[in-house]
Amino acid sequence: MRKWAHLSWDMGINGQHHEDARTARTGQPTEPEGAAAEREEAAERNVFDEKEDIRGGTESRKAASSHVSIPELHHHRVASVTSLSRPCNTAPIPHFPNTRLPFTLRWRIFCAHRLGIDLDHPSHASPEACGPKLTNSPTVIVMVGLPARGKTYISKKLTRYLNWIGVPTKVFNVGEYRREAVKQYSSYNFFRPDNEEAMKVRKQCALAALRDVKSYLTREGGQIAVFDATNTTRERRHMILHFAKENDFKVFFIESVCDDPTVVASNIMEVKISSPDYKDCSSAEAMDDFMKRISCYEASYQPLDPDKYDRDLSLIKVIDVGRRFLVNRVQDHIQSRIVYYLMNIHVQPRTIYLCRHGESEHNLQGKIGGDSGLSSRGRKFANALSKFVEEQNLKDLKVWTSQLKSTIQTAEALQLPYEQWKALNEIDAGVCEEMTYEEIRDTYPEEYALREQDKYYYRYPTGESYQDLVQRLEPVIMELERQENVLVICHQAVLRCLLAYFLDKSAEEMPYLKCPLHTVLKLTPVAYGCRVESIYLNVESVSTHRERSEVSVSSLALEHQPDR
């Protein structure tokens, strides 16, 4: 039976850890033969036949006696789980009459019920039910800076990273609100500081965006909102601070400062002239108008001043596209992670190549995990990859592998230096390592069904989940952002996690991204994202991709009923 130590570790009574509970958890019997089975049966009946509200019932039981038997201890475990959950479900507790459904599965279904999670539709679960919040209060990230300084680039890239690590984040671009309010853009005159009518429209657009920020952070489960606008005056920033104080939001300012005319002109040519504002203009006309628009903002620009006026604000100044940074009064963990991320990214042209190892012996056998070497076709792919890399003629290409045989053998054919990363090892399948999916389904049917229903959050017994894998891969992402040309040779689940980061895929999509063997994915960063090319190296292989299943967890209760 799988031990739920993380749910019951701290459940001793009156501050003392109950010795019998320790014995039950470690599986070391201290009673006569047969007593353990009777005790477990009693515990199951007490957990799943309870009709009262468990939280209230627990208090009455604690008052009734200072000595708690093992069956009662299960009540305390359940109470601790339910008291921590925000969306506590008050509907009748699931009951499984005449069923020999494994206790571990009954326990999971019970806990999911109390959390309000529909196991047949796990994507309907609230973020709070699926994992802990990484912020102790909602945060508004306020972008500051003149036009064409990379504010939207930073906003979108940072949002992609925060969503990838599990922090629900959304960008609110005030320019989009302005384009919605003013259907037809005329010229830079709209942004002149003496254009009072336009100033009123721009302020109303900012207020509309802030209303949506409030809705996102208070009613839609968001944890961070990125307010993407110029916000170049202290008056505008004071309005945002007042809004945040009224709603008990934290504020973190990110100011992008760049005085290099070459960088500004490049940004305008790459991004701004293709914006909806200039859809009917030539490149020269768009460039001229946008430079005049910048001049309108420069007339009233008040940079953040951490030495005097803004010394109490939490902020980071990104100077000359990351050449220098100035950080002031970082308040919490998530702000420190944001600072760390911004200090690692760059905008230099580069190419990232991602691929899986060559076909392995375990791939041929349909087994997951393990540490097998390459098959004959896998070795052919390694040679084909070597030829492909040579044809790319990349300067200073870095090659990264995991510490498993299949990636190392693939990299050795390149005849290039390579670095081994433990973080790039395949997802740990725990007790299911080196088993086929058919064997898992037959041996651990409840685990098989639970994973099919929620592949991102499901954790193999003694193994990992995709969520765990994302946390493990965060240092890899940070280092990838610092590098130029890199080839990463890794494994299917790892490649899915990396690809989800670069392509801004959700946690629900991530475990089902197609990453075939013997195919190289070429990633080229562009203005607000990444362009992907899939290059098949013409070496046959097995397919290890599995589509989303329709297995129902709750239906297992019927499947496990004994014949009568």
pLDDT surpassing 90 at residue 48: no
Please check the confidence at residue 316 and state whether its pLDDT lies above 60: yes
The pLDDT mean for the chain works out to 83
Give dist(CA 179, CA 282) in Å, integer: 20
The confidence score (pLDDT) of residue 186 equals 85
- Rounded mean pLDDT, 36-40: 54
The 3-state DSSP class for residue 142 equals strand
Burial class (CB in 10 A: 0-12, 13-18, 19+), 42: middle
Mean of pLDDT values over 330-357? 96
Place 136 in a pLDDT band, splitting at 50, 70 and 90. confident
CATH assignment, 139-342: 3.40.50.300
- Any idea which of 6-10, 371-375, 381-385, 509-513 has the lowest mean pLDDT? 6-10
> Which range (109-113, 334-338, 475-479) has the least confidence?
109-113
Q: How confident is the model at residue 526 (pLDDT cuts 50, 70, 90)?
A: confident
Q: Where are the alpha helices (DSSP H) in 399-535?
A: 405-412, 437-443, 445-453, 466-482, 492-503
Position 104 confidence tier, pLDDT thresholds 50, 70, 90: low
104 or 548, which is more confident: 548
420-448 average pLDDT score = 98
Q: Which of 24-28, 74-78, 424-428 has the lowest mean pLDDT?
A: 74-78
**Digit-coded pLDDT (tens) for 146-164:** 999 999 999 999 999 999 9
The winner for highest mean pLDDT among 80-89, 123-132, 150-159 is 150-159
Q: How high is the pLDDT of residue 183?
A: 84
Mean pLDDT throughout 167-193? 95
Could you state, in order of their start, the residue ranges of all structural domains in the chain? 5-116, 139-342, 352-536
Per-residue model confidence (pLDDT) at position 280: 86
Domains 139-342 and 352-536 belong to one CATH topology: yes
Specify the amino acid at residue 237. R
**pLDDT band per the 50, 70, 90 thresholds, residue 502:** very high
**Residues contributing to the annotated binding site for substrate:** 356-363
pLDDT at 96 > cutoff 60? no
Between β-strands 519-526 and 139-144, what pairing exists: parallel, antiparallel or unpaired?
unpaired
More confident residue, 561 or 232: 232
Q: Which residues are annotated as a binding site?
A: 356-363
pLDDT digits (tens, 9 = 90+) for 451-476: 999 999 999 999 999 999 999 999 99
Residue 94 pLDDT greater than 90, yes or no: no
Q: Which of 255, 426, 447, 452 does the annotation list as catalytic? A: 426
Q: Verify whether residue 357 is a known catalytic residue.
A: yes
pLDDT beyond 70 at 3: no
3-class DSSP state for residue 51? coil
Give the pLDDT of residue 37: 54
d(CA 114, CA 99): 21
pLDDT higher than 80, residue 14: no
> Does residue 123 carry a pLDDT above 90?
no
Taking only the tens place, the pLDDT of each residue in 238-271 is 999 999 999 999 999 999 999 999 999 999 998 8
Catalytic annotation on 298? no
> What is the CB neighbour count within 10 angstroms for residue 28?
8
Report the CATH fold assignment for 352-536: Rossmann fold (3.40.50)
Q: Closest Cα partner for 516 from 488, 490, 544?
A: 544
* Residue 23 predicted with pLDDT over 80: no
Q: How far apart are CA 404 and CA 357, in angstroms?
A: 10
Rounded Cα–Cα distance for residues 310 and 275 (Å): 33
Catalytic residue among 18, 75, 357, 491: 357
Note the pLDDT of residue 184.
86
Predicted local distance difference test score (pLDDT) of residue 554 = 52
The stretch 402-409 carries a mean pLDDT of 99
Q: Give the pLDDT mean for 384-390.
A: 98
> What is the rounded CA–CA span in Å between residue 297 and residue 149?
12
In angstroms, rounded to a whole number, what is the distance separating the alpha carbons of residues 180 and 348? Answer: 33
Q: Which residue has the higher pLDDT, 559 or 81?
A: 559
